[in-house]
Structure formats: structure tokens, C-alpha cells
Amino acid sequence: MNRARRFGTVIGLVVLCAILWILTPYFLTVSNLLNIAEQTSINAIVAVGMTFVILSGGIDLSVGSIVALAGVVLGLALRDGQPLALALALTLAAGLVCGLVNGLLVSLGGLPPFIVTLGTMSIARGAALLVTEGRPISGFAASFRVLATGRVGFVPAPVIATAVVYLAAHVALAGTTFGRYVYAIGGNEEATRLSGVAVRFHKTMIYGVSGLMSAIAAVILTARLNSAQPIAGMMYELDAIAATVIGGTSLMGGDGTLAGTLVGALIMGVLRNGLNLLGVSSFLQQIVIGGVIVVAVLLDTVLKRNRM
């Protein structure tokens, strides 16, 4: 039944592409498609973490702020002349720590994830603004910027990064005990605990994964903008939730796939790109994207109901 749903989302993506191709032939050119893939990469990576969290029955509203904070850490490290490897390690560590704090508050504190991450969303954003005094950190070496601008063959580096992230996340979800527990905790936390699974540990790690994904996204974003901005990543949480939900993951937890999330992120990316190509105003774009989210979830619900 997962297959049927994923199939539905893929059909949606194909239909969308076909419509845009008819409306504007430029849409279906290699360069534009690569462009879409590149633009989608950041949301797609953040949505990986979101998928883990939502599969486990939680929610993470702090991802956008963590993107900003991790980006600022990266910017400061690079400005201070730290070696690239160290700067990257610090960035990833910052994201991971933010996520683990979320996880600890949820699992040990027993607080609702919505409230915890609403709080850390504000805290991380505030911290990013505080250390930069609200100013962006700009102008990095080309050796760093290549992470966003570089190409392997004709494929942009962010697309490679996204592929690697999805591959690794897929292996984690489908081939490890951790992945099993993500689904089990989301499906029935108490039954999982009574089965001897260290539920609190794994929940903490799940939010850690989400923080880590935000940090990876922060690296790509900072390299692409050639600037670390404390106001970066605004509303990323909503895009990531949208991609996850369009991709068929249940907000109740326990049911969903990463492949779905990737398709969900692509639908959003294709839509934005297509509307831009058609010259649709950004105000109208918001309405269209909002409508697509609702329709996608509606279709999903109807499909599910019919399968009963």
C-alpha cells in the first residue's frame, strides 16, 4: 500500500512536469532540470531529518533556525581562518548538538516535541543573531564555495551531496536497527519500550539526525550564498514538513518513506521553478504551493480511505 501511495506521488510529479513542459518548453531542458535539482537540494536534505522525526511520531520546528546557527558557526570559523575540515566539523557538531538537545528535552524531559522545538527554534535563531550582532558574514575562499558551485561532470555538487545523504539515510532507515526503531517508536512507543528497545536513547538520536541534516544544509546554503546569514533558513521547517507530508509520511508516525519525501521535495522545487518560469508573482506562488500541499494530502487521505 506504501507502493500505491508513492506511485501516486510520482504520478503527480510527472503530471506537473508535463503541464509545465507544455506551458514552457524551456522547463524540460537539462540545464533547467539540474537547476531544479540544485535548488531542491537544501530542502530535500532538511526534509530527511524531518522524515526521521515525523516517522518517530514527533515534529521538529527548529530546523530552519539550526540551519542559520550552524551556518553562522561555519562563517565564524572560516573568517577566523580555521582549516576547512575543522570548520566543517564544527558546523556539523553544532547542528548535531542542537538536535541532541531537542532530543534530550523530548525524551528525558518528556515534553511534547512541538513545544520543545518551538522553543529551540527561537533560541537557536536568537543565538545566531546574537553572535553575529545580526550581520551576515560574507566572502569566503573559492576552495569552500566549490561545495556549492562545483560540478562533478555536469552534476552540481549539491545534487551529489543530496544523493549521498539520501543513500546513507536510506541505508540507516532500511538496513539498521536504528531505522527499525524509528518506525517502531512512531508506531507504538510503549510496545517498543516493553520490547526492550532503548526508546529514550533512540529518540534523542533521531533529533540528533535532524540537527545534523540541518547543518549539512547550512554548509551548502552558506557556500552558495557566499555568506552566512543569521536570518537564513526562515520557514525551512514548513518546507521540510510539506515535502515529508506530500511524500506520504503520516504525521501520526510509523508510516512513510524517504523516497516519498524526495519526491515531495521535488514537487515543491518543480512547482517553484515552473511558476518562476511562467512569471507568476511570488505572492501567487505561495497560494499555489499551499494549495498543492492541501490537495496532495487530501488525495493521499482519499486513496487510503479507498483501500480500506
Partner 1 sequence: MTIAPPPLEMRGIRKAFPGVVALDGVDLTLHAGEVHMLLGENGAGKSTLMKILSGAYAKDAGEILIDGARVEIGGPRGALARGIRVIYQELNLVPQLSAAENIFLGALPTRAGLSGLVDRRALHERTARLLADLGMTIDPRVRVDRLGLAQRQMVEIAKALAPADERSAAARVLVMDEPTSALTRREVEQLFALIARLAARGVAIVYITHRMDEVFRIGQRVTVLRDGRRVASRPLGEVTVAELVRLMANRDLSDHFPKVRAPLGPELLRLEHVSRAGALADVSLSLHAGEVLGIAGLLGAGRTELARVIAGADRCDEGRVIVGGSPVRFRGPADAIARGIGLLPEDRKAEGLVAGLTMVRNIALPHGRRLSKAGFLPPARETALATPIGDELRIKATPTQPVRLLSGGNQQKVVLGKWLAGDVRVFVFDEPTRGIDVGSKVEIYNLMNRLTARGAGIVMISSELPELLGMSDRIVVMHRGRIQAQLDAAEATEERVLSAALGLAGGIGEKNFNGDKDTKAGFAGG
Cα angle 11, 262, 142 (rounded to 5 degrees) comes to 135
* Nearest approach, Cβ of residue 39 and partner 1 (Å): 34
Nearest residue (CB) to partner 1, 15 versus 198: 198
Judged by beta carbon, residue 145 or residue 193, the one nearer partner 1 is 193
Report in angstroms how near the CB of residue 136 gets to partner 1 at its nearest. 39
**Cβ atoms of 38 and 162 closer than 8 Å:** no
Binding of partner 1 at residue 181 (CB under 8 A)? yes
Q: Enter the DSSP assignment of 26.
A: G
Are 40 and 268 contacting, i.e. CB atoms less than 8 angstroms apart? yes
Residue position matching grid coordinates 522525526 = 53
Which residue reads 514537487 in cell numbers? 267
Closest CA to 185 of 196, 195, 199: 199
* Cα dihedral 274→276→281→286 (10° resolution): 60
**Is 301 near partner 1 (CB under 8 A)?**
no
User: Which of 14, 18, 130, 198 lies at the binding interface for partner 1 (CB under 8 A)?
Assistant: 198
Cβ-based nearer residue to partner 1, 153 or 196: 196
Q: Does residue 193 touch partner 1 according to CB under 8 A?
A: yes
The smaller minimum CB distance to partner 1, of residues 184 and 293, is found at 184
Binding segment (CB under 8 A) for partner 1, from list 18-26, 34-42, 186-194, 287-295 = 186-194
- Residue in 174, 231, 278, 287 binding partner 1, rule: CB under 8 A: 174
DSSP 249: -
Q: How far apart are the first and last CA of the chain?
A: 10
Neighbouring-strand partners of residue 227: 138
By CB under 8 A, residue 52 contacts partner 1: no
Contact pick of 154, 196, 282, 294 for partner 1 (by CB under 8 A): 196
Quote the CA–CA distance of 235 and 48 in Å, as a whole number.
16
- Residue 94 is which amino acid? A
Residue 178 sits in the site that holds partner 1 (CB under 8 A) = yes
Residues in the chain: 308
Please state the closest distance from residue 255 (CB atom) to partner 1, in A.
Answer: 5
Instruction: Give the nearest distance from C-beta 178 to partner 1 in angstroms.
Output: 6
Kindly state whether residue 4 participates in binding partner 1, applying the rule CB under 8 A: no
User: What is the Cα–Cα distance from 5 to 256, expressed in whole angstroms?
Assistant: 10
Q: Which stretch binds partner 1 (CB under 8 A): 44-52, 152-160, 173-181, 220-228?
A: 173-181
Rounded to an integer, what distance in angstroms lies between the CA atom of residue 2 and that of residue 26? 34
Total number of residues that touch partner 1 (CB under 8 A): 23
Choose between 177 and 286: whose C-beta lies nearer to partner 1. Answer: 177
Binding interface with partner 1 (CB under 8 A) = 174-181, 183-184, 187-188, 190-198, 254-255
